[in-house]
Structure 1
Amino acid sequence: MSTVVRPAVIEHHREPLGIGEASPRLSWTVDADVAGWSQAAYEIEVDGHAHGRVDSAEQVLVAWPAAALDSRERRTVRVRVWGADGGASDWSAPTVLEAGLLDPSLWRADLVAPPLPETGSGGEPAALLRGEAEIGGGIVRARIRATAHGVMTLHVNGAPVGDDALHPGWTSYATRLRYRTWDVTDLVRPGRNAIGVHLADGWYRGYLGFGGLRDLYGDRTAAIVQLEVEHADGSLTVVGTDASWRSALGPVTRSDLYMGETFVADRVVGGWSEPGFDDAAWDAVEVVDLDPATLVAPDGPAVRATEAIRVTETIHSPSGRTILDFGQNLVGRLRVHVPKGAGTIVLRHAEVLEDGELGTRPLRRARATDEIVADGTAFTWEPSFTFHGFRYAEVTGWPGTVDPAAFEAVVLHTDMRRIGTFSCSDPLLDRLHENVVWGMRGNFLDVPTDCPQRDERLGWTGDLMAFAPTAAYLYDTAGMLTGWLADLAADQHDDGNVPVYIPWADVDPHMPPLGAEAGWGDAATVVPWTLYERYGDVGILERQWSSMTAWVDAFARRAGDAVDFASGGFSFGDWLDSAAPDDQPWAARLPWQAVATAYLAQSARILRDAADVLGNPEAGARYGALFDRAAARYRAEYVTPTGRAAFPSQTAYALALRFGLLDETQTAHAGALMAAQVAADGFRIGSGFLGTPHVLDALVDAGEAATAWRLLLQRAVPSWLYAVTMGATTVWERWNSMLPDGSINPGEMTSFNHYAFGAVADFLQRRVAGLAPAAPGYRRIRVAPVPTPELAWARTEHETPYGRAAVSWTLEDGAFALEVVVPPSTEAEIALPDGSETVVVGSGTHLFACAFAPGEAAGPAASFAG
Structure 2
Amino acid sequence: MLSLHPCSLLFIIFLWSTVNSHSLSPFDVRIDHHKVDTTRDLIINIPRPQFSWKIPTSNNTSHRNIEQIAYQIQLESTKLSRNDQQFHWDSKRIVSSQSIHVPYTNQHDLLSSTYYQFRLRIWLSTSDEASEWTNWIQFRTSMFNIHDYIINNNDLLWIGSTKINMNEFRKEFLVPNTSPIKSAIVYISGLGYYELYLNGNKVDASRKLDPGWTTYEKRTLIASFDVTMNITAGMNAVGVKLGSGWYSQEQQHGEIRYGPPRFIFTLFVSFENGEEMQVFSDQSWIGREGSIKHDSVYNGEIYDSRGDRPDWAKVGFNDSLSAWTMPESLKSPINVSMNGIIVIQDMPPIRAGSDALHFEVLVDNYQQSYLNHDDIGEIKGASLTDGGILKPIDIWRSDSGVLTFDLGQNMAGWCRLKFHGPSGFGTYIRHAEVIAVPTISYNHDTRNIYTENLREATASDTYILRGDLLFEVYEPTFTVHGFRYGSIFNSPNALTVHDIECPVVHSETTLKGHFTTSNPIVNQIQHNIQWGQLSNIMSLPTDCPQRNERRGWMGDAALTVDEALYNFDLIKFYQNFLNLIVDVQLDDGEIPDFVPGRNYPADPNWGTALPTITWQLYRHYGDIHILEDYYDNVRNYVEYYRGSYNKTGLINFFCRYGDWVPPPPYPQSNAHLISSFAFLHDVYILLNMSQVLERKNDTNMYSMLYQHLTEEFHSAFFNKTSNFYADGMQAAQALALALPGVVPANVRGAVVDHLVNDISQKGNHVTTGIVSTAQIYPVLSDNGHHDLALEMISSTTYPSFGYMFTNPYENATTLWELWDSAVDGPGMNSRNHIMFGSVGAWFYSYLAGLDLSLSNIITIRPRMASENKKHLMKKLDCQLSSLYGLIHVSYTRDERDTIDNSILLRVTIPPNTQAHIIFEPLFAGGQCALLIEGNQVLWSSDSSTTIHRQFNVEKDSITGLMTVHVGSGQYEFLALWK
Whether TM-score is above 0.5 comes out as: yes
Match of 2:351 among 258, 283, 304: 304
| Matches of 2:395 and 2:906, distance apart in 1 | 45
Confirm whether residue 79 of structure 1 aligns to residue 145 of structure 2.
Answer: no
Partner SS state of residue 920, structure 2: coil
Shift of 1:752: 0.3
Confirm whether residue 368 of structure 1 aligns to residue 411 of structure 2.
Answer: no
| Matches of 1:497 and 1:485, distance apart in 2 | 14
| Matches of 2:166 and 2:449, distance apart in 1 | 28
| Matches of 1:134 and 1:235, distance apart in 2 | 14
* Number of the residue aligned with 1:822: 909
Shift of 1:126: 6.2
Contact 1:556 1:563 (C-alpha < 8 Å) held by counterparts: no
Q: CA RMSD in A?
A: 2.1
Shift of 1:667: 2.7
* Number of the residue aligned with 2:376: none
| Matches of 1:783 and 1:207, distance apart in 2 | 51
Which residue identity lines up with residue 371 of structure 1 in the other structure? T
| Matches of 1:664 and 1:563, distance apart in 2 | 24
> How has the CA–CA distance of structure 1 residues 467 and 418 changed in structure 2, closer, same or farther, with 3 Å as cutoff?
same
Contact 1:7 1:92 (C-alpha < 8 Å) held by counterparts: no
> How has the CA–CA distance of structure 1 residues 750 and 441 changed in structure 2, closer, same or farther, with 3 Å as cutoff?
same
TM-score norm. by structure 1 comes to 0.92
Unaligned runs of 5+ in 1: 119-124, 507-513, 582-586, 740-744, 854-866
| Matches of 2:718 and 2:122, distance apart in 1 | 54
Q: Deviations over 1:797-831 (max 9, x none)?
A: 11101111110111235432111111111111111
Confirm whether residue 797 of structure 1 aligns to residue 895 of structure 2.
Answer: no
User: Where do residues 294-693 of structure 1 align in structure 2 (5 Å cutoff)?
Assistant: 294-306=341-353, 307-341=388-422, 343-354=425-436, 355-356=445-446, 357-377=448-468, 378-505=471-598, 515-560=601-646, 563-566=649-652, 571-579=656-664, 587-588=667-668, 590-640=669-719, 644-660=724-740, 661-693=742-774
Shift of 1:681: 2.1
**Segment drifting more, 649-658 vs 752-761:** 649-658
* Number of the residue aligned with 1:122: none
The total of aligned residue pairs comes to 824
Partner SS state of residue 552, structure 1: helix
Whichever of the two has the greater Rg, that structure is 2
Shift of 1:300: 1.6
Contact 2:817 2:833 (C-alpha < 8 Å) held by counterparts: yes
| Matches of 2:492 and 2:324, distance apart in 1 | 35
Contact 2:196 2:239 (C-alpha < 8 Å) held by counterparts: yes
User: Where do residues 642-791 of structure 1 align in structure 2 (5 Å cutoff)?
Assistant: 644-660=724-740, 661-726=742-807, 727-739=811-823, 745-746=824-825, 748-776=827-855, 779-787=857-865, 788-791=870-873
Partner SS state of residue 142, structure 1: strand
Q: Deviations over 1:447-492 (max 9, x none)?
A: 1100100000000001010000000011101011101101110111
Shift of 1:215: 7.3
> How has the CA–CA distance of structure 1 residues 385 and 640 changed in structure 2, closer, same or farther, with 3 Å as cutoff?
same
| Matches of 1:437 and 1:852, distance apart in 2 | 36
| Matches of 1:126 and 1:705, distance apart in 2 | 61
Contact 2:159 2:264 (C-alpha < 8 Å) held by counterparts: no
| Matches of 1:490 and 1:580, distance apart in 2 | 40
**Segment drifting more, 46-55 vs 441-450:** 46-55
Partner SS state of residue 31, structure 1: coil
* Number of the residue aligned with 2:14: none
**Segment drifting more, 484-493 vs 102-111:** 102-111
* Number of the residue aligned with 2:141: 99
Q: Deviations over 1:739-783 (max 9, x none)?
A: 2xxxxx12621100001111111111221122232414x643333
User: Where do residues 234-249 of structure 1 align in structure 2 (5 Å cutoff)?
Assistant: 234-249=274-289
Contact 1:600 1:630 (C-alpha < 8 Å) held by counterparts: no
| Matches of 2:426 and 2:847, distance apart in 1 | 52
> How has the CA–CA distance of structure 1 residues 276 and 490 changed in structure 2, closer, same or farther, with 3 Å as cutoff?
same
| Matches of 1:753 and 1:403, distance apart in 2 | 27
Q: Deviations over 1:203-244 (max 9, x none)?
A: 1115326xxx24725012110112122211122222121121
Confirm whether residue 185 of structure 1 aligns to residue 228 of structure 2.
Answer: yes
Shift of 1:786: 3.0
| Matches of 2:237 and 2:476, distance apart in 1 | 23
Contact 1:769 1:796 (C-alpha < 8 Å) held by counterparts: yes
| Matches of 1:110 and 1:623, distance apart in 2 | 49
Shift of 1:129: 1.1
| Matches of 1:460 and 1:278, distance apart in 2 | 47
Partner SS state of residue 485, structure 1: helix
Partner SS state of residue 773, structure 1: strand
Which residue identity lines up with residue 644 of structure 2 in the other structure? R
| Matches of 1:117 and 1:166, distance apart in 2 | 24
* Number of the residue aligned with 1:511: none
Shift of 1:417: 1.0
* Number of the residue aligned with 2:260: 220
Contact 1:500 1:521 (C-alpha < 8 Å) held by counterparts: yes
| Matches of 1:126 and 1:8, distance apart in 2 | 43
> How has the CA–CA distance of structure 1 residues 17 and 188 changed in structure 2, closer, same or farther, with 3 Å as cutoff?
same
Unaligned runs of 5+ in 2: 1-19, 77-87, 354-387, 437-444, 895-899, 922-959
| Matches of 1:694 and 1:106, distance apart in 2 | 48
Q: Deviations over 1:237-267 (max 9, x none)?
A: 2212112111100111111010010111111
Which residue identity lines up with residue 113 of structure 1 in the other structure? I
| Matches of 2:389 and 2:166, distance apart in 1 | 25
Contact 2:53 2:99 (C-alpha < 8 Å) held by counterparts: yes
| Matches of 2:214 and 2:602, distance apart in 1 | 22
Confirm whether residue 13 of structure 1 aligns to residue 100 of structure 2.
Answer: no
Which residue identity lines up with residue 30 of structure 1 in the other structure? I
Partner SS state of residue 500, structure 1: coil
Partner SS state of residue 267, structure 2: strand
Which residue identity lines up with residue 73 of structure 1 in the other structure? T
Shift of 1:691: 0.8
Which residue identity lines up with residue 91 of structure 1 in the other structure? W
| Matches of 1:117 and 1:677, distance apart in 2 | 64
Contact 2:432 2:483 (C-alpha < 8 Å) held by counterparts: yes
Partner SS state of residue 414, structure 2: strand
Between the aligned residues of both structures, percent identity stands at: 27
* Number of the residue aligned with 1:115: 161
* Number of the residue aligned with 2:110: 69
| Matches of 2:166 and 2:295, distance apart in 1 | 7
Contact 2:591 2:601 (C-alpha < 8 Å) held by counterparts: no
Shift of 1:270: 3.4
Which residue identity lines up with residue 29 of structure 2 in the other structure? A
Confirm whether residue 276 of structure 1 aligns to residue 316 of structure 2.
Answer: yes
Contact 2:186 2:224 (C-alpha < 8 Å) held by counterparts: yes
Contact 1:206 1:257 (C-alpha < 8 Å) held by counterparts: no
| Matches of 2:797 and 2:203, distance apart in 1 | 50
Contact 1:18 1:297 (C-alpha < 8 Å) held by counterparts: no
Which residue identity lines up with residue 612 of structure 2 in the other structure? V
Shift of 1:86: 6.4
> How has the CA–CA distance of structure 1 residues 704 and 126 changed in structure 2, closer, same or farther, with 3 Å as cutoff?
farther
TM-score norm. by structure 2 comes to 0.81
